[in-house]
Amino acid sequence: MATQNGQPGRAAPLYLTVAVVMVQARHGKLQMDVIGKTVGAVSADATGDLLSDTTSILSNLTSLTSIESILLAATALTYLAPD
């Protein structure tokens, strides 16, 4: 038995259900076209942003690696230096 608002009730007639699905399908195709174009544009923009972010992150990681190497060398020299 179908429910309406959480309460038991009668199911909608099949012809009404089919009509609603057909209308939704027609509007859905248009909505999907718009959504598809929007997602495509956002994806292209996001990909460009991701590439530029990745490039800047990689350069920062390279800088951090250099700094870490210098600090590690300085620490090693400090501990290994004769008293």
Mean predicted lDDT score pLDDT of the chain: 63
Please name which of 41, 60, 62, 64 lies closest in space to residue 52, comparing C-alpha atoms. Answer: 60
**pTM score > 0.75 for this model?**
no
d(CA 77, CA 31): 66
Q: Which residue has the higher pLDDT, 18 or 58?
A: 58
d(CA 44, CA 50): 10
User: Band of the pLDDT at 2, cuts 50, 70, 90?
Assistant: very low
